[in-house]
Amino acid sequence: MVSVGLLLTLAIMLSALSFSTSAPELTVQRLSMVSRDTLLLTQTATVGDLEDNYPVLADLFAAGILTQSDRGRDLLDVIGAFWAEGNTTYAENITGSVLSPFFNGTPYNAQILMDGTQLFERNITETARFVIRQRAIASGFEIGKPSYGYISRAWLITATKNNTLIMLGDVITSSVKQFPMGNNGNQVNITYLLEVPLNANISNASTFIETAWIDNPFKVYVNGNFVYQSSGKGLTDITDYIVPGNNTVSVVSRYGSGGAEGGDDGATHFVVQYNTTTLATISNPARFHFYEVLSEAPIRYKKPIFVLGNVSGLNVSLNFTNESGGTPIQNATLNITWKGVSYYISIKNVTNGSVFWNETEIATTLAASGISVTEFSTGVFWVVVDIDKYVTRTRRDYYQRVIRRDTSYVEVGYDPYTIVFGKVDLTTQASLFSLYEQDEAVPEFYRNVTWNVSIHNESEPLAALYKLPWLYYSGANPVQQVFVNGDVLYNHDPNNPSSNPLIVEFARFGYTPVSSANALVAGANNLFSLNFTQGYGIDPANALASVTTLIRSTVGYGTVFANESDAVADAYERLEELLGPFIQAIDISNESQSIGDVPSLWGPAQLDIRIWI
């Protein structure tokens, strides 16, 4: 009776709310009520209550697919059981038959998914102004397999995880050499921001610096403290200087033995290894800020962008100052680079120290070249800006150009991946698998390098990202090939004009499961390989390979045991095995049941209810 009452209440409420107009806040509130009550209905209405009113259920009972013991089970339990067994047709038919009548005659759109599998959809509008989602971790009984004893499930309450923060430099250059030779006196100062969780217990921190020309010297300051100086490139421990919270690392490069530019060639990186009780540390920013850059010469800034989500648009904002106030900067030029091809957007005059490119003008210009920003969802794209007319050898201007970090950014419109209850994100470094064919002149660089990206069987891979110190011989046209598990992700062949273009600054490469069906395989060692010919190389010792995955932090009911303590111990053991070596449980909650006339259970799985208008 209670379940039937809930069904009637939902039907009446949908009817009452469907045709009234309201403020946006009230619309959102109503959508929230509908989605919440839809979830409650699936969790409380039993198939026995619904059987007489829904032929799809009556037919399943008549055929013996559902039995007497299933009549007391809730709708979610039965739908989930069919889904878990691979009988998605039954699951879809039940879901659609029971729920669709309550949306008929309303303006609401609805979608119900079980672990990403769509069981029901009602889509009557092309665009959505408001979207509300309800999620739940679900597990339940299997159908038609009675047993007796104790079963237990467990989920993580608190834990510590050994995580890695990886901050990568951008390609940033500015002249330090006058024409035709000699020191023009300019120094290029780049300040990077490292954001470490406030509750982190830092175990190790290191930095690798590689300037735009590796014969130019540089100095490094961490949180205002001088750390070290070197020439060209250097790797050093900075653990004693890094603290929880925000940290600044400033690298000041200058003219040395002939290199035309100071700055960063894109190989610079910072690695902080830490232990934290914060289980969701993945970052999905809407804005990717430029680092702060100070220079007395024009600046070229190439920023690689890699997002976990479907890109729908982007804006670019730049803000400048100089030491005397105001800004003498004349103009800024924007290009977008995708798969080695640079697309010119426009040049704009700087007004009051600022310049801005909006989503429409960028998308329109790219579309004229046959490019859609949605393509950027599958890899790394580059936002390239020139601050004033850029030349590699010039006099410094004796005033300091400053790119301000706080108001200079690339704003990407995309649907970011959200961490739901029951999952923990984890970033770890991949290991070198093989390397061969050293460069004859610079032996630390190799033309063939392979990494082994090991992914736990029970995890969900999100992305792999590589930072690559590169060596290019000016004027060369080498083969550039990228393979992952045998799939070709990039191929430049100088003998094939239709192949991908040559990338001079092969400093970054990233991919997601969307990039290739075989790109990231759980439960396997994934091989990522770079293959070059004479004229190009990678320094594997100072490269950085990382993979981000989601680890499930809950296990459903398991094997039936004769006593409760064995069932609980089994759930704990399965959970700890699932978490792996990087996550150490502090507090685990569990639930056990004495069962009869039921089998082991399916799940856990994520039920996702989306209501929009």
Q: Please give the pLDDT value at position 20.
A: 46
Pick from 1, 6, 145, 3: nearest CA to 70 = 145
Are residues 109 and 170 part of one domain?
Answer: no
| Per-residue pLDDT at 200 exceeds 60 | yes
| Per-residue pLDDT at 461 exceeds 60 | yes
The angle, 0 to 180 degrees and rounded to 10, between the axes of the packed helices 75-84 and 88-99 is 150
Are residues 213 and 314 part of one domain?
Answer: no
Pick from 252, 199, 247: nearest CA to 228 = 252
Most trustworthy range by pLDDT among 69-78, 261-270, 397-406: 261-270
Tokens of 26: 């009230």
Are residues 604 and 580 part of one domain?
Answer: no
- Looking at residue 488, which CATH number applies to its domain? 2.60.120
Could you read off the pLDDT of 326-366 as tens digits, one per residue?
A: 567 889 999 999 999 999 999 999 888 899 999 999 999 99
Could you read off the pLDDT of 530-555 as tens digits, one per residue?
A: 999 999 999 999 998 889 888 888 88
Rounded to whole angstroms, how far apart are CA atoms 279 and 163? 10
Reported as a pLDDT band with limits 50, 70 and 90, residue 433 is confident
Could you read off the pLDDT of 182-199 as tens digits, one per residue?
A: 899 999 999 999 999 899
| Per-residue pLDDT at 146 exceeds 80 | no
Are residues 267 and 301 part of one domain?
Answer: no
243 compared with 33, residue with greater pLDDT: 243
Is position 149 within any domain?
A: no
Is position 156 within any domain?
A: no
Q: Please give the pLDDT value at position 36.
A: 84
Tokens of 480: 């550039």
- Looking at residue 266, which CATH number applies to its domain? 2.60.120.260
Rounded to whole angstroms, how far apart are CA atoms 243 and 251? 18
Are residues 165 and 43 part of one domain?
Answer: no
Are residues 411 and 290 part of one domain?
Answer: yes
Report the pLDDT averaged over residues 317-334: 79
Rounded to whole angstroms, how far apart are CA atoms 329 and 347? 13
Q: CB-hemisphere CA count at 13 Å for 318?
A: 30
Rounded to whole angstroms, how far apart are CA atoms 346 and 338? 16
Number of domains in the chain: 5
Is position 470 within any domain?
A: yes
For the chain, give the mean pLDDT: 86
Q: Which domain holds residue 571?
A: 554-597
Tokens of 403: 């790119």
Is position 308 within any domain?
A: yes
Rounded to whole angstroms, how far apart are CA atoms 177 and 196? 37
Are residues 255 and 381 part of one domain?
Answer: no
378 compared with 128, residue with greater pLDDT: 378
Given 3-state DSSP classes, what are the helix, strand and coil percentages for the chain, each rounded to the nearest 5? 20, 45, 35
Q: Please give the pLDDT value at position 147.
A: 41
Are residues 294 and 224 part of one domain?
Answer: no
Reported as a pLDDT band with limits 50, 70 and 90, residue 317 is very high
Tokens of 225: 């403290």
Q: Please give the pLDDT value at position 316.
A: 97
Rounded to whole angstroms, how far apart are CA atoms 80 and 136? 12
| Per-residue pLDDT at 301 exceeds 90 | yes
Is position 559 within any domain?
A: yes
Are residues 369 and 486 part of one domain?
Answer: no
| Per-residue pLDDT at 558 exceeds 50 | yes
Are residues 138 and 8 part of one domain?
Answer: yes
Q: Could you give phi then psi for residue 216, rounded to 5 degrees?
A: -95, 135
Are residues 110 and 9 part of one domain?
Answer: yes
Task: Identify the domain boundary among 281, 315, 348.
Answer: 281
Task: Identify the domain boundary among 244, 265, 281.
Answer: 281
Q: Could you give phi then psi for residue 250, rounded to 5 degrees?
A: -110, 130
Is position 155 within any domain?
A: no
Q: Are 189 and 250 in contact (CB under 8 A)?
A: yes
Task: Identify the domain boundary among 253, 281, 309.
Answer: 281
Are residues 132 and 39 part of one domain?
Answer: yes
